[in-house]
């Protein structure tokens, strides 16, 4: 399946690196498209319409506000369209790209290393998935873990996975800084913290995502970890994550 990227910014680059195969692509900044195509062995094209004409699947990687201006160029040629645009429901995509298969995905930056969480919005209006639908879903599943969700929950999911690489980076930084305060060199602190994140993620998978089981294994009664956990709770860790999600969803706390 020939992939055509419309826009070659951060997420397009992460997707393309994750897929690791040649793409055709375009971006208002020609140099951005050229360097992506060079890296992956694909081709940078001079405009969006040409990308659409050459691709089996057009992947919209521009900003949500550009939906209609891009569709004016891309829709006449596009065979099938996958969107990663935040806050852009299937109904809006279908209106911009009528009479062809349209898919809505939400990726996260770790797709670059094929460890991303990817959400696909379930298409309530579609019939049974055909071979093309399955091939498109399989393409995105290559990038990590693909979770299909009712479209009403996609924005909530966004707060947990699309935004979260930034949160996780901040959590890691905060832990490293805590260690620095007590004399641990930042470089070694970062190695320890990041490896602990990676290893704990794998353990959680093996424990069936049972977070409490992992906490109980580490925190013996009356022990040091229990004290640390209490300090985190008192510091408002849970409330901070709840507030972060509310902020993403544009709600009052
Ligand atoms: N970053 C994430 O973690 C993330 C996660 C999930 C979903 N998304 C979605 O992914 C999309 C891209 O986000 P991003 O973070 O990669 O943004 P980005 O780095 O700004 O990339 C967007 C790219 O699209 C280009 N562009 C602008 N107008 C265009 C046009 N008419 N035709 C083709 N390309 C055009 C931009 O060029 P200029 O800079 O010159 O305008 C830029 O290179 C957004 O819709 C966002 O909602 C992002």
Q: Ligand 1 center to residue 12 CA distance, Å? A: 7
The protein residue whose alpha carbon is closest to atom 41 in ligand 1 is 28
DSSP structural state of residue 43: E
Cα(5)–Cα(7) distance, integer angstroms:
6
Q: Over 70: is that where the pLDDT of 253 sits?
A: no
Q: Mutate which of 33, 46, 63, 155 to test ligand 1's pocket (most atoms within 8 Å of Cβ)?
A: 63
Q: Mutate which of 14, 25, 28, 85 to test ligand 1's pocket (most atoms within 8 Å of Cβ)?
A: 28
> Please, which pLDDT band fits residue 128 given cuts at 50, 70 and 90?
confident
CB 22 within 8 A of CB 47: no
CB 25 within 8 A of CB 51: yes
Counting beta carbons within 10 angstroms of the beta carbon of residue 35, is it exposed (0 to 12), middle (13 to 18) or buried (19 or more)?
middle
Q: Ligand 1 center to residue 199 CA distance, Å? A: 32
Q: Over 80: is that where the pLDDT of 129 sits?
A: yes
The protein residue whose alpha carbon is closest to atom 38 in ligand 1 is 28
Non-local (6+) Cβ contacts of 208 within 8 A are none
Q: Ligand 1 center to residue 106 CA distance, Å? A: 13
Cα(212)–Cα(214) distance, integer angstroms:
5
DSSP letters, 169-222, are HHHHHHHHHHHHHTT--HHHHHHHHHHHHHHHHHHHHHTTT-HHHHHHHH--TT
Residue recorded with tokens 């972060």: 244
Q: Ligand 1 center to residue 50 CA distance, Å? A: 19
Phi, psi angle pair for 148, to nearest 5°: -90, 130
pTM of the model: 0.94
Q: Which atom of ligand 1 is nearest to the CA of 69?
A: 31
CB 107 within 8 A of CB 162: yes
Q: Ligand 1 center to residue 5 CA distance, Å? A: 11
Task: For 60-105, write each residue's pLDDT tens digit.
Answer: 999 999 999 999 999 999 999 999 999 999 999 999 999 999 999 9
Average per-residue pLDDT for the chain: 96
Specify which residues 44 forms β-bridges with: 25
DSSP structural state of residue 130: -
Spell out which residues line ligand 1, taking CB within 6 angstroms. Answer: 6-12, 26-29, 32, 48, 61-64, 66, 69-70, 84-86, 106-107, 109, 162
The protein residue whose alpha carbon is closest to atom 17 in ligand 1 is 9
Q: Which long-range contacts (CB under 8 A, 24 or more apart) does 28-32 make?
A: 32/8
Task: For 5-54, write each residue's pLDDT tens digit.
Answer: 999 999 999 999 999 999 999 999 999 999 999 999 899 999 999 999 99
Mean pLDDT of 224-234: 98
Residue recorded with tokens 């399989």: 138
Torsional sign, CA 181, 184, 188, 193: negative
Q: Mutate which of 8, 9, 120 to test ligand 1's pocket (most atoms within 8 Å of Cβ)?
A: 9
Instruction: Cite the DSSP H helix spans in the chain.
Output: 10-19, 30-40, 48-54, 67-74, 90-96, 131-141, 154-161, 164-181, 186-206, 211-218, 224-234, 237-248
Q: Ligand 1 center to residue 182 CA distance, Å? A: 41
């Amino acid at each position: 399946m020939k992939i055509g990227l419309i826009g070659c910014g951060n997420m397009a680059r992460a997707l393309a690196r994750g897929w690791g195969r040649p793409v055709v692509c375009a971006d208002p900044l020609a140099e951005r498209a050229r360097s992506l195509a060079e890296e992956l062995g694909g081709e940078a094209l001079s405009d969006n319409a040409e990308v659409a004409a050459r691709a089996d699947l057009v992947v919209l990687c521009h900003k949500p506000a550009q939906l209609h201006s891009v569709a004016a160029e891309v829709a006449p040629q596009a065979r099938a369209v996958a969107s990663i645009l935040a806050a852009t429901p299937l109904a809006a995509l279908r209106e911009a790209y009528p009479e062809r298969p349209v898919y809505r995905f939400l990726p996260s930056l770790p797709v670059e290393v094929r460890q991303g969480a990817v959400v696909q919005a379930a298409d309530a209006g579609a019939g049974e998935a055909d071979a093309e639908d399955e091939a498109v879903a399989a393409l995105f599943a290559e990038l990590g873990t693909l979770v299909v969700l009712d479209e009403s929950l996609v924005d909530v999911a966004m707060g947990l996975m699309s935004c979260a690489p930034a949160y996780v980076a901040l959590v890691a930084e905060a832990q490293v800084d805590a260690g620095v305060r007590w004399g641990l060199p930042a470089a070694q602190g970062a190695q320890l913290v990041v490896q602990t994140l990676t290893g704990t993620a794998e353990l959680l998978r093996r424990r069936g995502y049972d977070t409490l089981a992992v906490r109980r294994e580490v925190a013996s009664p009356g022990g040091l970890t229990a004290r640390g956990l209490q300090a985190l709770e008192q510091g408002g860790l849970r409330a901070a994550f709840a507030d972060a999600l509310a902020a993403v969803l544009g709600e009052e706390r």
